[in-house]
A and B are shown apart, each in its own frame.
Chain A
């Protein structure tokens, strides 16, 4: 009798265990540090927006895959005219938005006219400026006419900023995003979580997951506890200082990959003494990159010598342009008229890599006579002081946009770097579609900004994900902002 009872208990326990495993097998709970302020990726730059919605809720005409290559999205195919000015997209048939309205060429036209409108609040409006007109040929064919060739056009169409929205729902996307993606928005408990569920009517291949919950946990220690306790199944980017907890733990896998985040010592080139090339070269010689990478990223960053992602096929290794050499730095400073060095301020935004890098750079600069006063700022203040008012000497910041070397061609950008040759090269690069030529031009640009030491080039940020060991299909690298759910699945 007792035996039977215990057998019964065991069976019940087994059943419970199985049903728990089954219940878990198609749902995922992801812990993310930052909560998005809103959920419309076409009206805000916050990475947190793309983490939730990019390729999950919203889709563009093209999409960027985990290697950074452009793949067909809502457009199943396209043709480009010989002069590179006309793109004709064939759209997928039978696609509907999550609210049931159908997707067609009119939605594409609406989306891009909204981006380009006078009162547009799209953060990347400038990227789409080459678009001269969008014409609906028939409900499934749309033609873009460009005012000049644009080598990045297809990539830019795949960004979160250019996802296709419907005129019926666009106004409410900030709070209730309606897209065409494999997951539809269910609810957002502010301060707590966003819930997505599989879109039963999805036009493409159905994802393995049926439900995804994003939980917002800002504190690293708390996120660690939540992972250890199994309250969340993973996180796309975990603070490197605490990764050791999970390395070697068989219940977790740590995915270390690349991002598009070039971390630089931002320098005000328009201001004395930084307007002097020798001063900038001296600063470049005074930087000990490895020490900064070890101290600020716990060794996970990858050294860069220019403003370009090391994993990109166009990347040129320029880390030895100005090798670490304090004596050379002192000599250059003396030559520039600062034999005893000078004083400068460094404004640091509230992110760990910047604050830590700032302290290390300050001590490295002290060795060559440059006295740096560190000023910690909030984000909003940093944006106002550095970006808007250009009231700064030095700063440390990561530029996370993919292929963003074009910012060096804008003399009004906060670097204050004005080089007509480089501006011409950049224009040429933008207008070139041939891959070999583009590479050559991109490398020339990389070399010029490296030799001009426009900014101090420190490291590429790493992406350090921590996931349950039974999960597969997460992106190791982050060629574009987002946590793409389509390939994630539970395996045994």
Chain B
């Protein structure tokens, strides 16, 4: 058991280190100079050179790598080149939008996806099942930015119930901030809910055919009771795996929806930083994402081990 945890933890640390090296090297190879970007096309070469020196860009690559990693180990993520601000603060600010948005989208997708998946499985082969699965297919196929635009047209432009986008900081007006999460949350949740509904249906259909359900039926339960008490719990394992992946996808992959609803999220921060060649910010923000995603998968792995004793034997 301890060996299992230790092994998983070492894997986690190695992932982070390799990611740091890859991120650093790739970004260093990218053409483009942040100093030139800041000063524009009419700036003289010596102004650009002084800015490069001020930003510490003229040091050799290995020195910059170790000062970056060393700084992070001490909790210092550096100062953004273009924004001239503490990177840790910038990321924390954006996480206060991206994390709640992710959670809203996850909750919505579970609340919509799981019941529909269970319903479809229970009505397998009937019109309800077919209808729901067609809907789910559409939900996966519809691009979420387009769905977002439609939501905004209906609820913001026509009905004026909700804002077209933007974000009010939580401490300024909690309800305004929460209202701002509704439409983007829905837009993000739709494809996720569709995927969850399909996975849930398939998993439940598989489980329903297994021996332990027959045993439960033989003990006198109705099919409904047997599926509910034994089937759903067992079918949740693949659903959990998908949820873990979805979380990672949502944290890093919300950029298009953030653009549609002009939300100051992490995705947009990274996108802008890349186009401005704000390398220090891109590196540190990417490492934070790697950290969050690896942490989630570490936690999922450890939870599996607790839930399923078979995984704990040294073979995992």
A residues lining the B interface (CB < 8 Å): 35, 37-38, 43-46, 118-126, 174-175, 189-193, 215-219, 221-222, 225-226, 228-231, 350, 378-381, 383-385, 387-388, 397, 399, 401, 404, 407
| Given A192-B166, A380-B31, also A388-B36 (CB < 8 A) | yes
The closest CB in chain B to the CB of A385 belongs to B31
Q: A380-B275, A387-B36 are in contact. Are A191 and B43 (CB under 8 A)?
A: no
The stretch among B226-234, B240-248, B257-265, B285-293 that forms the contact with chain A is B257-265
B253 within 8 A of A: no
* Closest-CB distance, A246 to chain B (whole angstroms): 13
Stretch from B46-54, B132-140, B296-304 at the A interface: B46-54
Cross-chain contact A45 with B32 (CB below 8 angstroms): no
Residue of A nearest to B34 (CB): A380
Return B107 CB to nearest CB of chain A, in Å. 24
| A231-B37 in contact (CB<8A) | no
What CA separation (Å) do A378 and B36 show in the bound complex?
A: 13
Smallest CB gap from B149: residue in A: A221
B31 touches A219 (CB 8 A): no
Cβ-defined contact, B264 with A118, below 8 A? no
Asked if B284 is an interface residue, CB under 8 A from chain A, the answer is no
In the complex, chain B residues whose CB is within 8 Å of the CB of A404: 42
Complex CA distance for A421 and B23, rounded to whole angstroms: 50
A218–B259 CB distance below 8 A: yes
Q: Is the CB of A229 within 8 A of B44?
A: no
The one of A38, A219, A383, A407 that contacts B82, using a Cβ cutoff of 8 Å:
A38
Bound CA span A229–B151, Å: 13
Given contacts A191-B264, A191-B272, 16 further A-B contacts (CB under 8 A): A38-B83, A119-B54, A121-B39, A121-B54, A191-B93, A219-B260, A225-B149, A225-B153, A228-B157, A229-B157, A378-B275, A380-B31, A380-B33, A384-B32, A387-B36, A397-B41
- Cβ of A378: which chain B residues have Cβ within 8 Å of it? 32, 275
Q: Does B277 contact A (CB under 8 A)?
A: yes
Q: Does B163 contact A (CB under 8 A)?
A: yes
Which of chain B's residues have a CB closer than 8 A to the CB of A123? 38-40, 42-43, 47
Contacts of B124-170 to chain A: CB distance below 8 A:
149, 152-153, 156-157, 160, 163-167, 169
Q: Is the CB of B160 within 8 A of A229?
A: yes
Least Cβ–Cβ distance between A3 and chain B, in angstroms: 30
| Pair A215/B54 contact, Cβ less than 8 Å | no
Query: Is B259 within 8 A of A225, CB to CB?
Result: no
Q: How far is the CA of A388 from the CA of B48 in the complex (A)?
A: 11
Question: Are A45 and B261 in contact, CB atoms less than 8 angstroms apart?
Answer: no
Confirm or deny: B268 has a beta carbon within 8 angstroms of a beta carbon on chain A: yes
Are A44 and B39 in contact (CB-based, < 8 A)?
yes
Q: Is the CB of B40 within 8 A of A222?
A: no
Task: Indicate if the CB atoms of B37 and A383 lie closer than 8 Å.
Answer: yes
B1-57 residues with Cβ-Cβ distance < 8 A to A are 30-34, 36-44, 46-47, 50-51, 53-54
- Chain B positions within 8 Å of A192 at CB level: 166-167, 262-264
List residues 42-93 of chain B with CB under 8 A from any CB of chain A.
42-44, 46-47, 50-51, 53-54, 82-85, 90, 93
CB proximity of B271 to chain A, nearest CB, Å: 10
Instruction: Say yes or no: is B311 at the interface (Cβ < 8 Å to chain A).
Output: no
- Give chain A residues whose Cβ lies under 8 Å from the Cβ of B149: 221-222, 225
> Are A379 and B275 within 8 A (Cβ)?
yes
Show 16 residue pairs from A and B whose CB-CB distance is below 8 angstroms, ordered by the A residue. Answer: A37-B83, A38-B83, A45-B38, A121-B51, A123-B40, A123-B43, A190-B83, A191-B272, A217-B165, A222-B149, A222-B259, A225-B157, A229-B164, A350-B275, A381-B30, A401-B42
The answer to whether A381 and B42 have CB atoms under 8 Å apart is: no
In the complex the two chains form, is B43's CB within 8 Å of A225's CB? no
- A383 in contact with B262 (CB, 8 Å): no
**Docked complex Cα distance between A226 and B261 (Å):** 10
Residues of A within 8 A of B268 (CB): 191
B55 smallest CB distance to A (angstroms): 10
Question: Judging by beta carbons under 8 Å apart, are A118 and B50 in contact?
Answer: yes
A225 touches B164 (CB 8 A): yes
- Say yes or no: B41 contacts A379, CB within 8 Å: no
